[in-house]
Amino acid sequence: MLIVCTKDQTIVDWTKSSESGAKAWGELVILDPGLSQVDATIQLVEALKRLTDPLCLSAHGNDTEIGDEGSGGKYWTWTYKQLASHFLQAPGSYKGPVLIHACAKSISNFSTYLVLALQEIKELDGAWIYGYNTPIGSEQRYPDPYKLSIQADVQGALVNVP
């Protein structure tokens, strides 16, 4: 499943294009850009409840948030802690992998912080979470979900619940 978590039409259009690689991720969920933050979160959680395959979350981002580039009432933003709590709604058997297809600025990026937050709430034990530690373009091709472990431009971290 690939969920577009931004209102950015460039990312939405790219994801719909045959060159994007999005088809390899299965079901495409584009959050309704007319929704408020609360309602977009509800739509995101409803999609997470259906997870069976690898998951890609596509958005703008930094090391601690994903969503839109702007901030304030008309933009969406989810922190790694908020997203971790939303994974509580995923099926108990879900084990990833998850790719955060968003910019980051350092090796301690959104996906790494997400792993720590998931471990804290004891969720998704054994799942691999992948992400970028550099800026990526809005039209960055989506990698093969079954080859993330050999993808040179993403880093992975294992959720290891003690």
Structural domain of residue 7, as residue ranges? 2-158
Copy the structure tokens of residue 31: 């959050």
What was the pLDDT predicted at 93? 86
According to the model, what pLDDT value does residue 132 have? 86
Number of domains in the chain: 1
pLDDT of residue 140: 85
CATH number at residue 14: 3.40.50
* pLDDT score recorded for residue 64: 87
Give every CB contact of residue 88 below 8 A, 6+ residues apart in sequence.
121, 123
Whole-number pLDDT of residue 133: 79
pLDDT confidence of residue 107: 59
Q: Which residues of the chain have pLDDT under 50?
A: none
Residue 67 near residue 103, CB atoms below 8 Å? no
Supply 139's token pair: 């039209």
* End-to-end CA, the chain: 28
